[in-house]
Amino acid sequence: MNKVGILGVGSYLPEKKVTNFDLEKILDTSDEWIRTRTGIKERRFASPDQAASDLAAKAAERAIKDAGISQEDIDLIIVGTNSPDTLYPATACLVQDKIGAKNAAAFDLQAGCTGWVYASIVGAQFIKTGMYKHVLVIGVEAITKMVDEKDRDTYVLFGDGAGATILGNVDKGGLLSSVLYADGSLAEHLILPAGGSRLPLSQEVLDKRLQYTRMNGREVFKFAVREITKVSLNAIKEASLTVDDIRWFIPHQANLRIIEAGIKRIRIPKERAVITIDKYGNSSAATVPIALDEIYKAGKIKTGDKLLMVSFGAGMTSGAFIVEWSK
């Protein structure tokens, strides 16, 4: 089968910064409370006129430019998101139109915060089989529009942003291993209850504020620490590598304590972990590609470096993959 690697990377963050001190003014919280429990100092909020497709299109254009290809070269667009513009059509279709990728098929993939990791692994299969040459994978969120500003347990966590990659054939390196996992019995622990066929929107639903994200933080924390360890070690084993072979560990940026627990359990040096949660908060499906783009643009990734990317999220889901950098 064909080898699949990352040909281009791009990201976009909205201009508006919201600090913990800003949140002190509207919630019963404090900078100290937020920092010690989450590691977050500030996050980005999309503007009122920005939806997920707007953020995604900007990240996509940067990834396409970085890959040195044109929009017409894109064969498929996969968007991982929890905050689509609409239930339908797919946000990926809106992105296709915005960037002018007229030859591309397009669909959304819903896997919670693991969306971009799932989408990357799915996208790679289209290239491995020879069906497509270039797949645009985007993790994007305008999720601050879907959390309750009256709920300090969730409102302080989330931020908006988008990260994108172009997948394609490479001569060496590329995708070395991949692991996906789900446990639907835990679905109720992280859920947006209303707006689907189970609980359509109504005045009663709005009065109960069920149109916003609900989270059982304790259960999510337990799942996250367990899964970030399990899928990471499984991906390393599948690639016939050791922890020492991993140059960069790029985890989902949900909570600094989760990341630190994962680092300890996996036994990877902290200096090899990419941490952006302090600046951007939890941008859900976008955290991993945004973090990837940040160290890439900073010149910290060298050809041959092995990157372990891992995430977990609503579903509950988790996943990881290792790629040998070939750019």
**What are the mean pLDDT values of the chain's consecutive 10-residue runs (327 residues total)?**
94 99 96 98 99 99 99 99 98 99 99 99 98 99 97 96 99 98 98 98 97 97 98 99 99 98 98 99 99 99 99 99 97
SS3 53: helix
Q: Which of 93, 134, 252, 255 is catalytic?
A: 252
Residue at 64: amino acid letter: I
Of the residues 20, 82, 93, 113, only one is catalytic, namely 113
Output the pLDDT for position 1: 66
Q: How far apart are CA 258 and CA 276, in angstroms?
A: 13
Q: Is 151 helix (H, G, I), strand (E, B) or coil?
A: coil
For the question of residue 93 being annotated catalytic, the response is no
Q: Is 113 a catalytic residue?
A: yes
Alpha carbons 217 and 153: distance in angstroms, whole number: 8
Number of C-beta neighbours around residue 82 at 10 A: 25
24 three-state secondary structure: helix
Nearest to 265 by CA among 249, 281, 279: 249
Domains and CATH numbers, the chain: 4-171 (3.40.47.10), 176-324 (3.40.47.10)
Q: Is the pTM of this model over 0.95?
A: yes
| Chain centre to alpha carbon of residue 295 | 15
252 given a catalytic annotation: yes
The confidence score (pLDDT) of residue 85 equals 99
**What pLDDT does 100 receive?**
99
